[in-house]
């Protein structure tokens, strides 16, 4: 899927930028949401909307993305990704991940079943075989992993500042249905930001991409990705130790891509109460 839609999906998914906000047990359940604008070389190429709901034990996150701007003239399209799972301890345990891509009158789907942190099955339509030069994805690569949306659940451990170092210190194993990779986060600083209606402290993380399996070793973009790092700005969800990505900046050999929140709804008040007040 080499198109602006692929670039958009990579910006929102491949770097863990698909932001989920499952609640840690004992905290108030509810819903958070965000809108994102994606640009490349300063030109708009897409928009995305995320909605994540939790009852304190389970979570469901949906991301809808679409190509916009000049990119839509050359290759329009839209996509939807959904992750469902449970929260155990301070982390997600996904049970399913689905993706549907719509482009050029065609629909491409992928469904992945998971249990206990392990992938139990993947179905694709159409079922395209992997590239013959791609490194094989072995059974051990499918154990102890997260789907790309669940990989965007950030919980600051400990009792220190939510927007401090604890927000970034982690290495996340990710499998997206074909390719297995790790995202390695390190803390840069706590920064005052004003993004998407939020004003306050944010944790700034550096993210390094480490391919594991399912990739062609001769691909220049993969080699370049290993040599570069992205920056992710995380803002706290009110009343929790969870955070959402507010901005992702990725420098490539062709230019800089940015996914920026244009709206952040960070108060996870119970959906029922919110509906009642709206009525």
Q: What is the pLDDT of residue 16?
A: 39
Q: In which domain, by residue range, is 72 found? A: 4-278
How much is the pLDDT for 253? 72
pTM of the model: 0.85
| Cα separation, 259 vs 257, whole angstroms | 7
Number of structural domains in the chain: 1
Q: Which of 121, 183, 109, 188 is nearest to 152 (CA)?
A: 183
Show contacts of 90-93: CB within 8 Å, 24+ apart.
Answer: 90/24, 90/155, 90/157, 90/241, 91/153, 91/155, 92/20, 92/22, 92/59, 92/146, 92/150, 92/153, 93/117
Average pLDDT, the chain: 83
| pLDDT tens over the chain, length 279 residues | 334 444 444 444 443 333 444 444 334 468 999 999 988 888 888 898 999 988 878 899 999 988 876 555 555 678 899 999 998 877 889 999 999 988 888 899 999 999 999 999 999 999 988 889 999 999 999 999 999 989 888 889 888 999 999 999 999 999 999 999 999 999 999 999 999 999 999 999 999 989 999 998 888 777 777 777 889 999 999 988 889 999 999 887 777 889 999 999 998 865 444 433 333
């Amino acid at each position: 899927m080499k198109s602006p839609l692929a670039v958009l999906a990579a910006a929102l998914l491949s770097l863990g930028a698909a932001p989920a906000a499952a609640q840690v047990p004992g905290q108030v359940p509810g819903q958070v949401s965000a809108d994102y604008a994606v640009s490349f070389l300063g030109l708009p190429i897409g928009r995305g909307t995320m909605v994540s709901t939790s009852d304190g034990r389970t979570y469901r996150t949906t991301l809808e993305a679409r190509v916009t701007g000049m990119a839509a003239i050359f290759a329009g399209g839209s996509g939807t990704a959904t992750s469902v799972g449970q929260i155990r301890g301070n982390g997600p345990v996904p049970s399913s991940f689905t993706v549907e891509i719509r482009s050029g009158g065609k629909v491409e789907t992928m469904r992945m079943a998971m249990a206990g942190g392990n992938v139990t099955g993947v179905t694709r339509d159409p079922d395209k075989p992997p590239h013959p030069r791609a490194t094989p994805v072995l059974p051990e690569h499918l154990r102890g992993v997260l789907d790309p949306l669940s990989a965007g659940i950030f919980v600051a451990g400990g009792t220190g500042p939510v927007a401090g170092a604890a927000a970034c210190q982690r290495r996340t194993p990710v499998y997206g249905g074909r390719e297995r990779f790790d995202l390695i986060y390190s803390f840069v600083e706590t920064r005052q930001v004003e993004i998407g209606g939020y004003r306050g402290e944010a944790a700034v993380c550096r993210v390094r991409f480490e391919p594991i399996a399912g990739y062609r070793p001769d691909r220049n973009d993969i080699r370049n990705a290993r040599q570069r790092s992205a920056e992710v700005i995380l803002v706290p969800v009110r009343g929790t130790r969870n955070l959402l990505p507010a901005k992702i900046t990725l420098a490539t050999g062709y230019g800089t891509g940015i996914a920026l929140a244009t709206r952040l709804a960070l108060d996870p008040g119970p959906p029922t109460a919110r509906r009642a007040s709206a009525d």
